[in-house]
Structure 1
Amino acid sequence: MLEGLGKKIQPRWLEVQVANLTCPQCWVRYLRLLRESIWPGGVLPKYPRPVRTQEQKVAAEKQALQSLMGILPDTVVQILGVEKCQLSWSLVLESLQQPLINRHLIYCLWDIILEFLDLSASVEESTISTSASDTPDNPKRMGVSP
């Protein structure tokens, strides 16, 4: 068991929380949110968004911090403390302001999604079945049943 500040976190609890965050319904929600943020209303915008003011950026950062704090279970907040949780999320938000980190994060997420979808297995299966059916002495190709 993981111990921190005198309290114990059950590994099974952590496993369930991660499973809940990565369930198919959540992936659908994440992808819809991503699609809607890139193509609002299903249409790519004609013009780029206007540049945000510093006040708008600060307000968005506060709102993001509040939202992120809201997804943490109360148990985690009690164990670590509100200030440490806010500091951790602030560091995450600050890290996401770096283009190189964002690019790497996107590549990693796409890698995870592709692995989750397991497209390589379906490509290999279609290649094997196509090459097997293309052989000249294949009875199915010649119209003869085996």
Structure 2
Amino acid sequence: MKIKLKRTRLYTNLILGLFWMILGMTILLTKDTYQWTDFGYAVVAVLYIGHFLYDLRNQYLIIENGTIRKNGLYEFRKKINLNDIHTIKLFAGVYTLKSIKKELKIDTTFIDIDSLGELNKLLKELNLEPGKTPWSK
């Protein structure tokens, strides 16, 4: 199961990539001589569009084979086994899933509303001890 990103988060990267591409092309087409810094706009555009494509394909979280994995282009993929989770904390819209050895933070402001419902349902089904989840109160 994939927990999807909000569309606004996805398409912001695409719009920024297109903006930098148009700006870079405008500068390159209007100048007679180029400096190496003029090509920086193209690099930034490629990075933003690449980030959009990566997020579109991988989304925010993948839950499969008893693990939950957080995808990130500029960070290491973090994952935690669902069976190893002993505490779930919710503070300021960020879930913190804790096991003995690992900790995974999930920012709910990035998650699509429908996917957030699926994530909440999955986390409630973990049957943790009372007092170790935000729903036990």
TM-score by length of 2: 0.24
Of structures 1 and 2, the larger Rg is shown by 1
1 or 2, which has the higher strand percentage?
2
TM-score by length of 1: 0.23
1 or 2, which has the higher helix percentage?
1
Larger relative contact order (CA 8 Å, sep ≥ 6): 2
